[in-house]
Amino acid sequence: MYDLWSLFGLRESPFFQDTLAPGSPSPTELFVGRKAESDRILLHVASSPSSRQVLHGPPGIGKTTLAQHAKGLLWKENYIVRWRSIAVVAGQGAPALLVDILASVHEAVLAARPAFSKEEPMEAARGLVRSFRQTSGGGGISVFGSGAQASTQTQYIRPVEAGVLQEAWRLLLDIVGLVCGKHEADGVVVHLNNLENLTSSDSMEAAARTFRDLRDLFLVPNLHWLVVGTSDETLGILGSYPQVRSVFLPSHPPLAPLSTDDFLGLLHARYEFLVEKKSREIVLPVEDEAAAAVYSLFRGDLRGALRTLEQGCLSLAGLTEGEPVRPLRFEEILATLRPVYEAEMLADLSATMIGRMREIAEAHGEGVTQGDLREAWDVTPQRVSQVVGQLEQRGYLRQLDVEGRAKVYSLTGTGRIALGLTGSGG
């Protein structure tokens, strides 16, 4: 048995999708590109006692990675950060989210300033978080309203929500005041993530109400907010109520995909970081031209491109046995993965759905709206919405970030490879 990556002189796969964080196997030093976006985030924080920034764009293009990189830069500038983000989940009410925020700030302050552990607001925060989570049923806090069923499937009576809000709010203010009032830090950064997971109208409306209920918290001095998610869901939630919209919007423009040069720079930074022996020359797992062509197929979807490059390398392992180790070519990756992706597509979708996919690609290569599809297919809006939803859910269609009110969709790289619509990668 052998390790594929060691053949290339690497400790492990360079195509990982782990979140970057200092001291982790995927450190923030591996971040490449987006200098203008990073500078803009830091400028907003430095120019205001309390800032609110929304990082939004299509899925898979590196929004969370940019937030992690920005937090790393802010940490060096004497801001307190927590490397793990706070996930905003469906059904989460204001008390639950506020307790999550309190727990996150407590953890960040404790890691940065351990001497504050015995301060009264820090001890009280630990007690409140522990009590709330135990009362909420086995640590599950993603509940909304009273009398709901907990993750342990037992009924509980939630503490008075107004009391939880008031106490958590007080402790949060005290902790931030403690750490910033003693000039131990210039501010505390709070990172709310995963707003793209709130796709149903009910969960988006519940999240919008939660943000409305916590609106004044977002204005607290020395708290700086990074809110990350896909454009439609994130801007929809933050724009639902005027009092929230006026605090968060307008925001930064949608995050654009990395350029091809930056994508290749990202790969080379990983190669250098993962080199097994400094004295040994690295053999690239894939040709730069092949990596660029795969990235082009995925239209800026970093996750999809990295996954495909890794699958291509693993699928071709052993097929060139006896030959000198060399970078893989684009044609080799496609020839190996197309049958795999095609078989998955045939198992996932009916012949009719596959035909719809091909029509989308051939007639609307640069993007299509549901209105375009209704006209082309002569079917009801409900049927178009159903088809689009199924293709999105299975990873064959993705929403593009295009200006305008109508959503624009395009086939994913996986879908293009499965259908053989790869051309030369463009």
Give the length of the chain.
426
DSSP result, 58-121: STTSSHHHHHHHHHHHHHHTTEE--SSPEEP-TT--HHHHHHHHHHHHHHHHHHH-GGGGGSHH
Q: Tell me the range of 13-27, 133-147, 386-400 where mean pLDDT is highest.
A: 386-400
The pair of structure tokens assigned to 286 is 């894939």
Q: Single out the residue of 9, 56, 423 nearest to residue 237, CA to CA.
A: 56
Percent of the chain scoring above 70 in pLDDT: 87
Of the pLDDT bands very low, low, confident and very high (cuts 50, 70, 90), residue 402 is: low
Burial of 388 (0-12, 13-18, 19+ CB in 10 A): buried
pLDDT-derived band of residue 285, with 50, 70 and 90 as boundaries? Answer: very high
List, in order, residues 6 or more apart from 179 with CB less than 8 Å away.
Answer: 80, 109, 112, 113, 116, 185, 188
Q: What is the pLDDT of residue 359?
A: 82
- pLDDT higher at 66 or 60: 66
Among 295-304, 356-365, 373-382, the minimum mean pLDDT is found in 356-365
Token pair recorded at residue 305: 């491109």
3-class secondary-structure state, position 132: helix
Cα 104 vs. chain centroid, distance in angstroms?
Answer: 18
Q: Tell me how far apart the alpha carbons of residues 293 and 252 are, in angstroms, rounded to a whole number.
A: 29
Q: Is the pLDDT of residue 373 over 70?
A: yes
Mean pLDDT, residues 277-292: 86
- 304-320 burial, b at 16+ Cβ within 10 Å, e below that, comes to bbbbbbbbbbebbeeee
pLDDT band per the 50, 70, 90 thresholds, residue 261? very high
Residue 299 and residue 57 in contact, taking contact as beta carbons nearer than 8 Å: no
Q: What is the pTM of this model?
A: 0.82
pLDDT of residue 226: 96
Q: What pLDDT sits at residue 139? A: 42
CA-based angle 413:419:420, to the nearest 5?
Answer: 85
Grade residue 200 by pLDDT with cuts at 50, 70 and 90. low
Q: How does the average pLDDT of the chain come out, rounded?
A: 84
What is the tens place of the pLDDT at every residue in 103-153?
999 999 999 999 999 999 999 999 889 888 877 654 433 333 333 333 333
Distance, CA of 174 to chain centre? 31
DSSP annotation of 9: T
Grade residue 342 by pLDDT with cuts at 50, 70 and 90.
very high
| Higher-pLDDT residue of 74, 60 | 74
pLDDT confidence bin for 309, thresholds 50/70/90: very high
Hey, is 22 helix, strand or coil? coil
Among residues 95, 88, 65, 301, the alpha carbon closest in space to that of 197 is found at: 88
> Distance from CA of residue 78 to its chain's centroid?
25
Q: Is the confidence at residue 60, as pLDDT, over 80? A: yes
Least confident of 74-78, 192-196, 252-256, 380-384: 192-196
More confident residue, 363 or 384: 384
Mean pLDDT of 357-370: 79
Cα distance between residue 298 and residue 118, in whole Å: 51
- Of 189 and 88, the one with more pLDDT: 189
Contact 78, 250 (CB under 8 A): no
Q: pLDDT, tens digit, for every residue of 408-426?
A: 888 889 999 998 888 644 4
Do 291 and 271 form a contact (C-beta atoms < 8 A)? no
Apex 310 CA angle, 305 and 314, nearest 5: 150
Over its C-alpha atoms, the chain yields an Rg (Å, rounded) of 24
Spatial CB neighbours of 56, under 8 Å, sequence gap ≥ 6:
63, 228, 229, 230, 231, 234, 235, 251, 252, 254, 255, 401
Q: What confidence score (pLDDT) does residue 317 get?
A: 66
The predicted pLDDT at position 140 comes to 38
Residue whose token pair is 């106490």: 167
CA distance linking residue 421 with residue 373, whole number of Å? 20
> Between 142 and 60, where is the model more confident?
60
| Domains of the chain, each with CATH number or no CATH | 55-233 (no CATH), 260-419 (1.10.10.10)
pLDDT of residue 405: 61
CB within 8 Å of 224: residues ≥ 6 apart: 45, 50, 51, 52, 53, 74, 79, 187, 188, 189, 190
Which pLDDT belongs to residue 406?
75
More reliable by pLDDT, 356 or 66: 66
Residue 59 scores a pLDDT above 50: yes
Q: How confident is the model at residue 17 (pLDDT cuts 50, 70, 90)?
A: confident
30, two tokens: 């591996």
42 within 8 A of 189, measured Cβ to Cβ: no
> Do 185 and 79 meet the contact criterion of CB atoms below 8 Å apart?
yes
**Can you give the pLDDT at residue 144?**
31
76 or 27, which is more confident: 76
Question: CB under 8 Å to 126, separation ≥6 — which residues?
Answer: 106
| Residues paired with 189 in a beta bridge | 224
